[in-house]
A and B are shown apart, each in its own frame.
Chain A
Amino acid sequence: MVKASSRQANAGVRSRRQGQLGQVMHRLAKNKLAMLGLFVMLALIAVALLSPWITPYDYAATSKADRYALPSAQHWFGCDGMGRDIFSRILYGARASLWLGLMSTLVSTVIGVILGSLVGYFGGWVDNVVMRLLDILQAIPGMLLSIAISAALGSGIGNTILALSIGGIPMTVRLLRGSILTVRKQEYIEAAEKINCSRLRVITSHILPNSIAPVIVSVTMGIGNTILQAASLSYIGLGVQPPTPEWGAMLSEGKAMITKYPHLCIFPGLAIMVVVLALNMLGDGLRDAMDPKLKN
């Protein structure tokens, strides 16, 4: 009897999950802004992947004649102080920015989800120890922490990813923990425990699927935020450094000449804004799609 009812509960979770996913996608597809965001993101990812073949110039090729060239038909966004084509550098720079944003968010999400499900499920002293450690991490303003870690680890993409991801962990843990605490009390979790599901299985196939929604939304928004932070780091000379084409670093290089040649700074900044805007539109759409009652 117990077995039958919990199997039912199980099936309920499954079908509801799939049904939910379908509904979420259906609602998302109706949201024009979100679709625009998704489209821009996919286009940018394509550009980043294809950049070595589609850029009009080599991103590193210098040309004395084109130093500080203004935007023109040959060089759409002009050239920088070494005569490098800014348009090509921006296309190529999408690699670094997107990679930084996606990977840092991925790292912090994976760690955050593991920690979050542990503390949310076990509670007690595990919860206490982890949350107190996160209190410490969170007491340092995020940007400051990233700057310090980035300084310690040195520049380079890998180190910057690490520096950016640590600051994002506490929020993911908190979010998931809160969400799990609500789900935990539901009866289907009890049912799963009663039929001797292993703890790992209870967490991975019953608790997580039902409590991950807020995390998904925050992750989407988080990528945008991380890209902003990455650019800020490069801007003050940490993180990714020249000559790697990265938007923040390009801004940093261009700022000295901004009064004379504003195009050095305008376009990389616009590029950052477009990516982050697209991600935020997608994130907004996801949030509305997952929680339709918030919309009306």
Chain B
Amino acid sequence: MIRYIGKRLLWMIPVMLGIAILIFSIMYICPGDPAQSMLGPSATAVELAAKREELGLNDPYIVRLGRYLYQTFIRFDLGVSYKYGTSVFEGLMERMRYTLVIALLCMALQVFVGTPLGIAAATHHNGVADRICMLLALVGVSIPAFWLALMLVLIFAVNLNWLPTSGVDNGLLSFIMPCIANSFAGIASQARHTRSSMLEVIRSDYIVTAKAKGLSPRTVLLRHALPNALIPIITIIGNGMGMMLGGTVIIENVFAIPGVGRYMTDAISSRDYPVVMGGVLVLGLIFSLIMLLVDIVYAFVDPRIKAQYEGRRKKKKAPAAAAAGKEAQHG
């Protein structure tokens, strides 16, 4: 297991390199001139040329890429923001807490609201509760998050005046609407996945075995069905985290929250490349770490997968089920 984690951590180095090259290339073909946006429209041609030379924008692609990779991966320096002249890393860290608070709160909502809803729906399969849950979930995954955010603002901030429209000055209150808007689709999709996973597990032979033992329906559900049903859900949670991190970019814009997402969208419009690249790298790193965590948790709860990671230290063979399980976690 430790070896597996080590291998995965090592593998993250080429992935990060890949992300850096990818995002650098994307930014390279970006239209617009950072020098122009830094100096403003009144700058003279001479000033612009000097600025471009200073930023190294005149060098060929491969030189700039090499310089960027050297700076990022050897000196661990994400560079300086063109716009603010401050360290990108510090700029990101300063804003990261807002983004992380939102993303984590959203995850919590997704897991702790979505899962019980899914279980309730599955246990009342085809009943009224099931139908209501699933209809809500269907609507939930179909609502644009930013529109939901606008509607929440309209109702709770403008009309009822219960919650602040934007900003982060009101403590936890400021995060209520952003989190609801950002996690609504996540909750709905978690409920849908939990339900279908539960329904599939409930049909398994080992559930019949458990019933045949004389266990109460409740025990069968909680001790045998739920743990098995939750295994594939873990992957959904990991993917959900990616959605939440991406979603915060939009939500931070709606609610004017000074997080990483807003920092990055501002940077995109002002051609502040170091910020965009640094932001993508850092968010990519966080996301990769979360996916690794998901895989570890996965192995922890499913002995079949664990056996696979532990390799051939023990000579017992892992059945095809383990392979299938591993496949499923990528799906």
Contact = CB atoms under 8 A, between A and B. Distances in A.
A284 interface: yes
A269 B141 CA distance: 14
A269 B142 CA distance: 11
B288 interface: yes
A136 B283 contact: no
B287 interface: yes
A228 interface: yes
A272 interface: yes
Interface residues of A, number: 51
Given A144-B283, A181-B327, A277 B150 contact: no
Interface in B307-329: 327-328
B265 A236 contact: yes
Contacts of A273: 139, 142-144, 147
B150 A269 contact: yes
Nearest to B143: A273
A143 B23 contact: no
Nearest to A293: B203
**Most chain A beta-carbon contacts within 10 A, residue among B141, B203, B269:** B141
Nearest to A272: B144
Interface string B242-253: 110111011001
Contacts of B154: 258-259, 262, 265
Nearest to A255: B150
Q: How extensive is the interface on chain B, given as a class?
A: 35 or more
B268 to A, nearest CB: 4
Contacts of B246: 141-144
Interface string A65-85: 000000000000000000000
B217 interface: no
B150 A265 contact: yes
A42 interface: no
Interface stretch (B26-34, B76-84, B208-216, B220-228): B26-34
B146 interface: yes
A175 interface: yes
B144 A228 contact: yes
B48 to A, nearest CB: 21
A141 B242 contact: yes
A142 B245 CA distance: 9
A296 to B, nearest CB: 8
Interface stretch (A51-59, A88-96, A148-156): A148-156
Interface in A102-119: none
Top 3 closest pairs, chain A to chain B, by CB: A143-B246, A269-B147, A136-B18
20 contacts: A139-B291, A140-B22, A141-B243, A141-B287, A142-B242, A143-B243, A148-B268, A151-B26, A152-B30, A178-B331, A181-B327, A214-B331, A231-B144, A231-B147, A266-B151, A269-B150, A272-B147, A273-B142, A280-B138, A294-B199
